[in-house]
Each structure stands twice: as C-alpha cells, then as structure tokens.
A and B are shown apart, each in its own frame.
Chain A
Amino acid sequence: MKWWTFLITATIVAAAVFAGIRALNNDYYFFAGYTVLQFVVLATAWNILGGYTGYVNFGSAAFFAVGVYTTVFLHKTYPLPVPLQIVAAGIVSGLVGLGMGYLTLRLRGAFFAIATLALAVVLQTIIVNWSYVGGARGAYVLRPATIEIVGNYIHYLFLVMLGLAVIALTTARAIEKSSLGYGFATIRDDELAAEASGVPTLKLKLIATTLSGAFMGMAGAPFPYIQAYVQPNAVFGLEYAVNSIAMPIIGGTASWIGPLVGAILLGTLQQVATVTISSAVNVLIVGLLLVAFVIVAPNGIVGVVQKAWRRKL
C-alpha cells in the first residue's frame, strides 16, 4: 500500500471516529479521546528513535514540554491559530532534538539515553525559573469557547489531534517501508556493521532524533488550550516519560502498529483507572506492565500476535 493510500484510509477512519464520538454527545469522551490521541503521537514519535533506530529517549517529557511552552510563549507574545502553533512547536522541538542529537549521538546508546534524562531536568529547571512563561506558579491560557465550522472548541482540539495522529502514523509507516527504515534498522541491529556497509549512521540518527523530537513537541502544542492551566510539574511529570516508553514497548516496537495499539490500550486503561483509582497507582501499573513485558514479551503485543499467527499456519 502506497503512503498516500494509507493516508486516505487513515483519514477516513479518523473521520468515522470523530463522527462516532460526536454522536455520543458528551464532552468527557472528547477530553479522554484527546489524551489517548496525544499518546498515540508521543508513542509513535518515541518509536521512530527508540524502536526503529534503537536509541532510547528517557526525556520525552522534555520535548513534549518544549511544545507546550512554545505555545505558552507564543500565546503571550503573538497568538496564532492552533495548527500554526503546532508547526511552530514542531520546528522548535525538532531543533532541540537535532541539537541534542548532535551533542550526544556519536557516543554509545547508553550515554544518549542518560543525556536525554539530563536534558529533561535542565529544561525543567530553566522553565521553572522563567517567569515570562509562568515559572513554577504556572501559566493560564484562555481557551476560546467556539470556533467556526466545528463549533465546540474542545471538539476542534480533538479533531486537530486526530489529524496529527494520522500524520504521525503515516510518517512512521512511510519510514518503515523506505530505505531510510532499512538504514534505521541496521543502526539498531549493529551500528558498527552498518557504518562498514556504507550507512551514514550519524546523519540517519540525527534525522531520527529531529523527527522524533518534532512530533513530540507537536503533541504538546495544543495542551495549554485543552488544560487551560500549565504547570511545570505536571508537564514534566511521570506519566509522559513512562508512557512514551511503555506504550511502544508494550504494543511492539518493530512497526507503526505497536505504538498505536499500546497507546490505545494503555491510554484507555489509564483514563478508566484515573477515574476509579488514584493517578499514582495508574503510573505504578504502567511501570509494572513495562517491566513485565520487557522480560516476558520483548516484542510486545504485536509480537505475541504475530507469533500466534505463524503457529497457526
């Protein structure tokens, strides 16, 4: 299936999802759905660098936050419509990804992973000390009540995130099937052999970090509008870091389907859990599932399904 065929198919599915949730006529589903879609984008973005290329990013929260705070900053300085905010966030966080990649990607994967953690803390410290974007007190972002065509602004944000998810999935799949995807896989399998085979590993890794960072930032861009109040502890919090890693690993890192499956399953589970139990237990469950899957089913749910399928044949 060519990428534009996939794009069209995905758009149709997305449109159906939107229509379906509109029919339920309850804003809660839009909020919950928005969160799940946000995780689809985050998980897919993480997987481009982590699953395809094998470089683990522990600082997803940092890139997400860059997106969030780019919006906060622009909203105060020169408000833009949400799609443009997303583009701006994508550019800024893409650049951060590029910069960080350039600094650390010539080293072993383990050092890169640690550096991403370092980045998250440095960024959090900077934001906490930057009063223009609210600092530790937080920032309020006023959300308009309605917007033309769609009507309800929440519905609009949901639609925007739906579109972003479609784009992210299409991009991930297109990469997977291309020679770029081959290159990424060789880096993951054996970077030394990849270099010896002519693969420009540094350049490809930089592409992966930039794309991954950009999408994570884009996932964060509409956040201030849907939350209305942005506080560093929440944005840099546990859930984003753990989920960006747990969802692709539990879903399956080998293809674009894994992060989608992981995000939908875990995202929905957490929405239910947060309502019924505390959010700390929520994160605990995700952490436990992550460790369990990594030990027992390293290829994720998709891997388990594939194995069962092959046994049947």
Chain B
Amino acid sequence: MSGELLLNAVIAGILLGGFYAAVTVGISISFGILDIVNIAHPAFVIVGSYVTYYVNAQFGIDPILAGILVLPLFYGLGAGIYQVYYVSFERRGKEALSGLAFFFGILFIAEVLLILAFGVDYRDVRASYIGQSLNFGIFHFPLRMLVPCLASLAMFAFLLIFLTRTFIGRAIMAVAQDQLALRLMAADPVKIKRIAFAISIATAALAGSFLIIIQPVEPSVGREYIGRVFAICVLGGLGSLTGTLIGAILLGIVESITATFYGPSWAPAVAFGLLLLTLALRPAGIMGR
C-alpha cells in the first residue's frame, strides 16, 4: 500500500466530499427542514448536468457559468413541484405513501425523459481546466475535481449566510419548528416552504453542473446518489448544515480509498452500506416525528 497513493486518494476524497456536500445541501433543506422525502433530488442533479452539457456543447459557455445561468429555471421548477406536492398531499395530510410514490414517479420520469432525449451514452463537457492538475511535490490536485469542489464550497457558504443572516433564510430555518410564530410575523408558512423547496432544487441543478465537470454522466447515474445523499444526511445529522459538510467529506474519503484500492465498481456500495449501517445502529428511541 503506497503512502503516496493513499495520500492522494484522501485528497481526492476531500475534494469529492466538498462536491458531495453541494449535492446534499438541498436535501438538508427539503428533508432536514421541510420533512419532505424528495428521493427525486438526484434526478434534478442529473437534469442539471444535462442542461449544462447542452449549453456547453451549443454555446461553448463554461459549465459552472452555464449552471448559474439556468438557476432561475430550476428554481421555478422546484416551486411548481412543491405547489403540486402541497395541494395534493401535505394539505390532505396523506404525505407518507403518496408523497414517496410521487417523488419516485418523478425520479423515473426524469430518468426516462433523459434517456429518450439524449440516449444512454455518457456525456461530458469541455472546459480549459479539465485534464490539468495542480501539483505540489507528491500532492496532486486534479483541476477537474478542485474547481467543482471550490465552487461547491462557495455555494455552500452562500447558502449558510443566506439561511442565517437574511429574514427569509431564518424564516426557512424556523418553519420546521414554529409555524404559528411565522404566521404571527406575517410570513406565510406555505410560501416560505415553497421558497425553501425551490432553493433545494436549484442547488441540485447547480451541483449537477459541477458533477459533469468531475465525471461524464449518463441518465442512471442519479440513482447512485440517492444513497450518498441520504447517507450524508443521516451521518451528519438532519438539518445541520455543518454536519452535512463533515459527513460529505467523510464519505468522500471512504469512497475514494475504496475505489483506489478495491476498484471503482465497489464505490456505490460504500455509501449505501454506510447508510444501512448508520440506520441500523441508531438508538431505538426514534419513532415518528
């Protein structure tokens, strides 16, 4: 076991973890704060990847820039989906089965639409920094991972500031605990939740533009991320943003080491195995809300 190999696997893991945090932060909002089990979240990441691919291929725009440009689109999509979800399920109080089935359906519809539109071949993007690497002696920082990681951390920091310093952001954090207080503050809880969910979808799409820089994508890649995303949430503690970051980096490192020494085909199982273990070892006192 080469020390240099291990070291660079850890570095790659940290970089990957930063990116994973960006993918997961949306779920921290929709699941951790709004208590909506949006298992279709990774589908929006992949859709974001494909939209980025399209813009990059057609107009030559840098992928991250492309991702930022289409944010309003995904924000609107998220708001629309929340509206349907709210009217159909949350208001009727039937969230459990129906809500899960709803998002599951969306997951599949998204995946199949992508297959029909783009086929099952891998797609990737062109950017000047892909293929290059920052090297400091034995430390290697591939730019295709470093750039998305930095962008992810920037997005993460931006969200953190938004959620803790702005009125709407704080209302979002509060909506889970105290809807009455929100109403008294003349803020409509439903509108706040809609904004929060729309943000979560927008972050997913932006993370998608980072993803396609790191690796080529094809429609079913989203499914691997379901386990990753929820594993990170559970590891890091629901609703805690810093916990999400730590959990993401941990997972990134474990996955990277596994991939380096045991082969990449085992990587998806790591997250899911970790998730199962974490769920299994949780204390038995958790029942219902």
Evaluate contact between A125 and B265: CB separation under 8 angstroms.
yes
CA distance A209 to B241 in the complex (A): 34
The answer on a CB contact under 8 Å between A253 and B109 is no
B residues within 8 A CB of A50? 97
- Cα distance A291–B113 in the bound complex, in angstroms: 15
A287/B116 contact (C-beta < 8 A), A125-B268, A298-B94 known: no
- Given known A-B contacts A191-B287, A291-B105, A54 and B96 have beta carbons under 8 A apart: yes
Contacts across chains A and B counted by CB atoms under 8 Å: 138
**Is A295's CB under 8 angstroms from B84's CB?**
yes
A249 partner, pick from B101, B226, B282, beta carbons under 8 A: B101
How far does the alpha carbon of A242 sit from the alpha carbon of B111 in the complex, in Å?
12
The answer to whether A245 and B112 touch (CB under 8 A), given A104-B279, A114-B37, A114-B275, is no
Q: Which residues of B contact A122 (CB under 8 A)?
A: 269, 272-273, 276
For B35, the closest partner residue in chain A by CB is A110
The residue in chain B whose Cβ has the minimal distance to the Cβ of A56 is B100
Q: Are A287 and B108 also in contact (CB < 8 A) when A103-B280, A110-B100, A111-B279 are? A: yes
Determine whether B162 belongs to the interface, using a CB cutoff of 8 Å to chain A: no
Query: Residues of B contacting A128 with CB < 8 Å?
Result: 265
- Asked if A106 is an interface residue, CB under 8 A from chain B, the answer is yes
Instruction: Answer whether residue A9 sits at the interface, using C-beta atoms and an 8 A cutoff.
Output: no
With a CB–CB cut-off of 8 A, which chain A residues contact B37?
110, 113-114
Mostly helix, strand, loop or mixed at chain A's interface? helix
Tell me if B's interface is mostly helix, strand, loop or mixed.
helix
Within 8 A of B (CB), among A53-78: 54, 56, 58
Tell whether A238 pairs with B108 under 8 Å between CB atoms, given A103-B280, A121-B269, A280-B116: yes
- Please report the total number of A residues contacting B with Cβ < 8 Å: 45
> CB-CB < 8 A to B287: which residues of A?
106, 108, 191-192, 195
**Known contacts A103-B279, A103-B280: does B112 contact A117 (CB below 8 Å)?**
no
With A54-B96, A108-B288 as known contacts, state yes or no: A284 contacts B109, CB within 8 Å: yes
Residue of A nearest to B227 (CB): A118
- Contact (Cβ within 8 A) A284 B112: yes
Given contacts A113-B37, A121-B224, contact A288 B105 (CB under 8 A): yes
Tell me the complex Cα distance, A107–B278, Å: 11
Q: Which B residues are in CB contact (< 8 Å) with A107?
A: 279, 282, 286
- Interface residues of B, Cβ cutoff 8 Å to A: 31, 37, 39, 84, 88, 94, 96-98, 100-102, 104-106, 108-109, 111-113, 115-116, 223-224, 226-227, 230-231, 234, 265-266, 268-269, 271-273, 275-276, 279-280, 282, 284, 286-289
**9 additional contacts, CB 8 Å, given A122-B272, A125-B265, A284-B112?**
A113-B37, A113-B100, A114-B230, A115-B275, A192-B288, A195-B287, A253-B97, A294-B105, A298-B94
